[in-house]
Structure formats: structure tokens, C-alpha cells
Amino acid sequence: MNAVSRRSLSSWWLRLHHGRSAKSYPPAVSLLLVSPLMALLIVGFLYPVARLVQLSFTNGGEPYARLVRSGLYVGVLTDTILISATVAILCLVLGYPVALAMARLRRPVALLVAACVFIPLWTSVLIRSYAWVVLLQRNGLVNDLLITVGLIDMPLRLLYTHGAVILAMTHVLLPFAILPIQATLRSLPADLTRAASNLGATPVRAFLLVTLPLSLPGVFAGTLLCFVLALGFYITPALVGGPNSMMMATLIGQQTLVVLDWPFAAALSTLLLTVSLVLVAVFRRALAYNKGFSSVH
């Protein structure tokens, strides 16, 4: 080995163990620190997903052919996507004003609003779903109130409908939209809005041209989080929607626990995962074109 090769090897060895500057970890230390997380990711996510996809092709792709032949499963998938998109939009519309209030109000009032957001989040999803069953059933509080005030004569069918599912899921997922938006709004300097006002912009115009565009990363994160969680929701649709409002997670649970058709359940899960990844990629690209996601060019 000549002198040039030895110097190159020595330089590579120093960079590997000492890093390029005092502010960064050496590559060897970085790999050591990341290795537990990578092992957890491989064992807890990548390997199960790979096994799931392999199981879906156990019978030579017959579960996927069954999916194509039957319009029932395509309809369930379509309903799941539409309900999830509706829930995500409602969470955004209802959550943005709350997030703005948490970021702009004075501390005592902001803490009160934050408590109203966090306390339901700390409550079990099962309890909140049962609460909606109590409210929306034929002899529930909503029907009793409508009959008492004279708006209706007979109880309405509020439970086991798409509307009940959307309402209950929006209530459960609303904090997941509020928190990312609130974190983004809190990080925005207040001087930007004041500068826009000094230049003659009205409060509405300053919000539309300054605050809203700069908060799009939080909007993207919160809306996407609600949408992905809604795609895989199981407890709330099963309790509030019943058999008339079946979603993909409920169908997968039925195929796994009742029918015991594991290959078909794996095919449904793989399809739902693929649709989720495609929609996330499309949503991310659409936001990148609007310059709301600075990491994509």
C-alpha cells in the first residue's frame, strides 16, 4: 500500500470516528445511536408488513381476484375513503379556529382551551364512542330533546348511519388536527401580522396572505394524520355505525375473527395500506406544488 492510499485510509478512519465538526456526531456513533430504532422498525413494522403481503399471495393471488369480482368490497373501500376524507376536512375546519385561539389568546384563557382539547384526548376511545351511542340512540338525549321542544313526533334514526360515524370519528380525531396546527401557529412570529397591518392589510387579508400560507405545514400534518387514522379506525365505526356503515377495518376484523379467512384479510389490509400510501404521496405532492411543504422541490 503506497503513501497516498495510507493517507486516504487514515483520513476516512478519522472522519468515521471523529466526525467533520464538533457539532455533529461521528458516523460510527450515529449508526450506533440509530441502530435500536432501526431494529425496532424492522421487527415491529417492516417484517410484519412483509409477512402480511406474503400471506395475501398464499393462494396465488386469489384473494385479490375475489376483491375485483365482488363490488361489495370495492364499495366498502370507497365508503372508507369518503368517510375518512370527510372526517379529515371537518377536523381541519373545526380545529383550525381552536388552534388559532390556543396560539393567540392570553395564557389563562389559552390554558383553558388547551384543557378542553387534552381532557377528551386522555379519555378512552371506547368510552367516547359509547357516549355517542347513548346520545344518538332512539331513546337517547338527542331524540328526547327534539321531542321535548316539539321539533319531531317520533324518534329519528340517528344511530347506525354514516352521519353518526362521521360525527363520532370527528369528535375523537379532532385533537390530532388541533395540536399540529397550534404548534405551527405558535412558531410564527407575531411581527409578520403586524407588518402586514402596517402596510394596509385588513385582519382578514393578513390572515389569508400571511398566517394561513405559513401554517400550511401544520395543516398538512394535522389533516393527513386525521385521514390516515380514520382509514384504520375500528372501534368507533363498529359501535356507532353497525353493519350498515361498515368500513375496511371492520371488514378486516370480521374476516380475521369471524370468517377466519386470513389470506383474504391480508389482501384487504395490503390494499388499504397501498391506498393510504398513494393518497399520502398525492396529498404531499399537491401541497408541495403550493409551496406549503418546503422539503419537496
Q: For residue range 29-49, what is the model confidence (pLDDT) as tens digits?
A: 778 888 888 898 888 888 888
| Cβ-based neighbour number of residue 156 at 10 Å | 14
Give the global pTM: 0.79
Contact 113, 105 (CB under 8 A): yes
Q: What is the mean pLDDT of residues 115-119?
A: 82
Kindly report which listed range (86-95, 230-239, 282-291) carries the lowest average pLDDT score.
282-291
Sketch out the chain's domains with CATH numbers. 1-56 (no CATH), 62-289 (1.10.3720.10)
Burial code of 223-249, b = ≥16 C-beta within 10 A, e = fewer?
bbbbbbbbbbbebbbbbbbbeebbbbb
Per the model's pLDDT, the better-predicted residue between 33 and 243 turns out to be 33
Contact 153, 71 (CB under 8 A): no
Contact 139, 155 (CB under 8 A): yes
Instruction: From residue 90, give the alpha-carbon distance in Å to each of 67, 177, 231, 280.
Output: 30, 10, 15, 18
